[in-house]
Amino acid sequence: MERDIRILFSDTFLVGIMFANFCIDLFVTAATFSNLISSSYFLMIAPGSNFLTAMVAAFQSGRDVWREKYIKDLASYLFTLPVPRRLFAASRVAGGVARSVIATFPGTLVISYLYGILFSPKLVDAFVIVGLFSLGIVGLSMAVSAFASSIEVFATVRSAIQLYLSFLSTIFYPASLFPVIVQPIVETNPMTWAMNAFRSLSGQGSSLGPIAILVAPSLAFALLGIGCYLWYARL
């Protein structure tokens, strides 16, 4: 027990993240679920669930990258393959996006059907939105994996990011239902942008605007992930 407690407090970063997670759980989760009843499931919750799946699948990329280096030592083999490092890093991001889009493929199709866009060009937009969102998350997860000194650190940071993306966004209900002080955080959450873009598909107007908002942050995170992976690849 003493050893466990010593290990727990040996990393102040972990303790800080754990405390933050606890606060989010206590104050945000409870508040979220208390306001669910009046929401439209298909408009609010179903796309949110789909994006949660995309987020989890995208984060798997970072976990894999970490395991390749520190557990299976596959990294040294992969880096002997005749592929330029930058291309290799970019392909890892692309692979993560592909996995995420595949993981959410059925969900995206079902929601598109419910939105009445299954047989319209907006179906492509739906997949573009999921792909762009996944692109950013894959990049973020690879950046986290580059700096995580242990799988526990990676898992803890991942949980914190996932909680932020899940419960401080408009996945479950509109930003206006959040406390005023939290609303700016919710409005600037990439998950909120992704949700807004996806929900705009159900309307009559163009969804290009909401999609365009996603492009810059997703590319920025993807580039961050590639940069961190290249740094991390210097064994």
Distance, CA of 193 to CA of 189 (rounded, Å): 7
Is-contact 104 57, C-beta < 8 A?
yes
Closer to other proteins by Cβ: residue 3 or 234: 234
Least gap, CB of 115 to other proteins (angstroms): 36
Residue with tokens 């919710």: 186
Closer to other proteins by Cβ: residue 7 or 102: 102
Closer to other proteins by Cβ: residue 52 or 75: 75
Least gap, CB of 67 to other proteins (angstroms): 11
Closer to other proteins by Cβ: residue 37 or 235: 235
Least gap, CB of 91 to other proteins (angstroms): 11
Is-contact 231 149, C-beta < 8 A?
no
Residue 27 tokens, joined: 């104050």
Q: Under the rule (CB under 8 A), what is the footprint of other proteins?
A: 72-74, 76-77, 79-85, 234-235
Tell the burial category of 212 from Cβ atoms under 10 Å away from its Cβ (0-12, 13-18, 19+): exposed
Least gap, CB of 231 to other proteins (angstroms): 13
CA atoms within 13 A on the CB side of 110: 10
